[in-house]
Amino acid sequence: MTYSSPRRDAALARLKAKTSRSAAMRPHAEQLLALEAVPTFSLPTPIYIDRALGATMTDLDGNDYIDLAMGFGSNILGHRPPEVEAALIAQVGKCWHTVIPSTPQYDLAELLVDAVPCAEKVVFTNSGTEATMYGMRLARAYTKKEKVAVFGGGYHGTHDYALIQEDPKSQRDAPSAKTIGLGIPASVRDETMIVLPYRDPAAFDIIRKNRDALAMVIVQPVQNTTPFIDNHDFLRGLRDVCDECGVLLMFDEVVTGFRLAYGGAQVYYGVTPDLASFGKIIGGGAAVGALCGRDALMGLFAQPGSGGVFSGGTFNGNPISMTAGAATLRLLKERKDEIYPGIERRSARLASTIAEHCASNGMGVTLMHAASIQCIHFVDRPIRTFRDLHPSNRAAEEAFYIFLLDRGVLLPGFHVYFLSAAHDDAMIGRLETAFVEALDECRADGLL
Ligand SMILES: Cc1ncc(COP(=O)(O)O)c(C=O)c1O
């Protein structure tokens, strides 16, 4: 559905006028790609990026934007931090893909084992998707049970098991499962997965009831689109019930890893899972994933053909991703006492400015944040879980992204966005102004 309102239409016309090179690129992209890897379709007008530095991206037409996509949260230090760039350049001068092991893999593994409580051993992948897939396979092999439980509202990537979601039409405290999109066998949904209600103790009884079939529970310590941070009791309760039932617990730390704290959510909450998946930040902006866990579990991975759990991939542990990741984690480790509190303070400042503006003007908008994760929802009701995010005020939401873009702020249009260490106080000031003005424009257009 396309919306129309006077200010929104004028802002969109201004944007189109200054992005003609990007617009010219779009038919070419459409001709070649069944789906753009990172879709421009969520933007109100095509924008193709030419270069990026710090918290700023520059498009083909030379327009600068404050980047709030930040590589979907991968670039916690901003784009091209000098130390990471220098490490990459040095590595490129040596080799960038060998298959036969090269040393950067051990540097990154050592940093992970050192920082992540559950990590005694690591297996690298190219994405978070592969890391959660291997975690599920490993849990099934170790426990000799077949089912894995996920929580409603969570996201674990794009493999078939990960695309099982809570059916929002089902009962809140006893949800049923549905597949997301076409092509996923119903048997995956019905025979291998269970969906649990997030942040709800009713989940613990479902785990108890299914203990004989359940290999593992996988949970995002903080979910992407409802980033509640007060999950201490819930995660502790989950750990206890999994121990009681002989069910493994895996944290999907693809987003929370090295974001909530150096080491991840398991450090922040003081709850240690059996397995954890990582991605995003630990690749320093290069393609990466990792599965970490206790030795007893990880020891089941074995060479293909030798009877263990299969893992492999042409580019797993490649020197470029490993180097970018190790350089990023070294920097985070050295400066963690300044970087993490700094991001949290600036993120809280932006969130509270917007929340106060919305509350004092009666705007039906909710802003949520946890560390550098932020989410803006155009809903006028209390949010308890992802189910409360729909329906939303789509007309205001779409106009809001246009008004922000018109002010040089690129928010990916998926509700969730990320700050980084490169979003300094001055930039937060610019973001506050842009957000407030964009919301006021929505109101002036009669949308809020
Ligand atoms: C929590 C979580 N797990 C897994 C994934 C999948 O990671 P990737 O996109 O690297 O496959 C994502 C991606 O955003 C994620 O947010």
> What is the full DSSP assignment across 338-386?
HHHHHHHHHHHHHHHHHHHHHHHTT---EEEEETTEEEEE---S--SSG
The minimum-distance atom of ligand 1 relative to the CA of 126 is 10
Percentage of the chain with pLDDT > 90? Answer: 92
User: Can you give the pLDDT at residue 379?
Assistant: 95
Query: 209 and 241: one domain?
Result: yes
Pocket probe for ligand 1: among 253, 256, 280, 375, the residue whose CB has the most ligand atoms within 8 Å is: 280
**pLDDT bracket for residue 299 (50, 70, 90):** very high
Express each pLDDT in 214-267 by its tens digit: 999 999 999 999 999 999 999 999 999 999 999 999 999 999 999 999 999 999
The pLDDT of residue 38: 72
Is the CB of residue 365 less than 8 Å from the CB of residue 358? yes
Domains identified in the chain, total number: 2
Picking from 254, 288, 317, the residue at the C-terminal end of a domain is: 317
312 is in which domain, residue-wise?
98-317
113 pLDDT higher than 80: yes
Residues 128, 31: one domain?
no
Same domain for 230 and 151: yes
Identify the residue whose C-alpha is closest to ligand 1 atom 7: 128
The one catalytic residue in 155, 161, 198, 340 is 155
Residue 381 maps to a domain: yes
CA 155 / ligand 1 centre spacing (Å): 7
pLDDT at 252: 99
Asked if 434 contacts 408 with a C-beta cutoff of 8 angstroms, the reply is yes
Active-site choice (59, 280, 406, 445) = 280
252 is an active site residue: yes
In a domain, 93, yes or no: no
Judge whether residue 37 has pLDDT over 80. Answer: no
| Cβ(1)–Cβ(391) below 8 Å | no
Active site residue 268: no
Ligand 1, residues 129, 165, 278: which to mutate, most atoms within 8 A of Cβ?
129
Same domain, 240 and 348: no
134 and 59 in a common domain: no
* Residue 280 is among the residues annotated as catalytic for this protein: yes
Do both 123 and 231 map to the same domain? Answer: yes
Confidence of residue 35 (pLDDT cuts 50, 70, 90): confident
Check whether residue 179 and residue 257 sit in a common domain.
yes
CATH label of the domain that carries residue 288 = 3.40.640.10
- Which helix (H) or strand (E) segment holds residue 11: the answer is helix 6-17
The β-bridge partners of 171 are 174
| Residue 151 lies inside a defined structural domain of this protein | yes
The predicted-structure confidence for 438-448, as pLDDT tens digits, reads as follows: 999 999 999 99
Identity of the residue numbered 249? L
- Would you say residue 324 lies in a domain? no
- Is residue 86 included in any domain, yes or no? no
Query: Is the pLDDT score of 277 beyond 70?
Result: yes
Both 245 and 394 in a single domain? no
Q: Which residues line ligand 1 (CB under 6 A)?
A: 72, 127-129, 132, 155-157, 220, 224, 252, 254-255, 279, 289
328 lies in some domain: no
Boundary (domain end) residue, out of 317, 345, 363: 317
Pairwise CA distance, residues 374 & 416, whole Å = 6
The answer to whether residue 283 sits within a structural domain is yes
Residue 314 pLDDT more than 90? yes
Assess whether 153 and 300 both reside in one domain.
yes
Ligand 1: distance of its center to the CA of 127 in Å?
7
CATH number at residue 35: 3.90.1150.10
Q: Are residues 220 and 116 in the same domain?
A: yes
Inside any domain, residue 1: no
Answer yes or no: do 258 and 171 share one domain. Answer: yes
Is the pTM higher than 0.85? The answer reads yes
DSSP string, 272-292: --SEEEE-GGGGTTSS-EEEE
User: What is the per-residue pLDDT across 167-199, written as a single tens digit (0 to 9) for each?
Assistant: 999 999 999 999 999 999 999 999 999 999 999
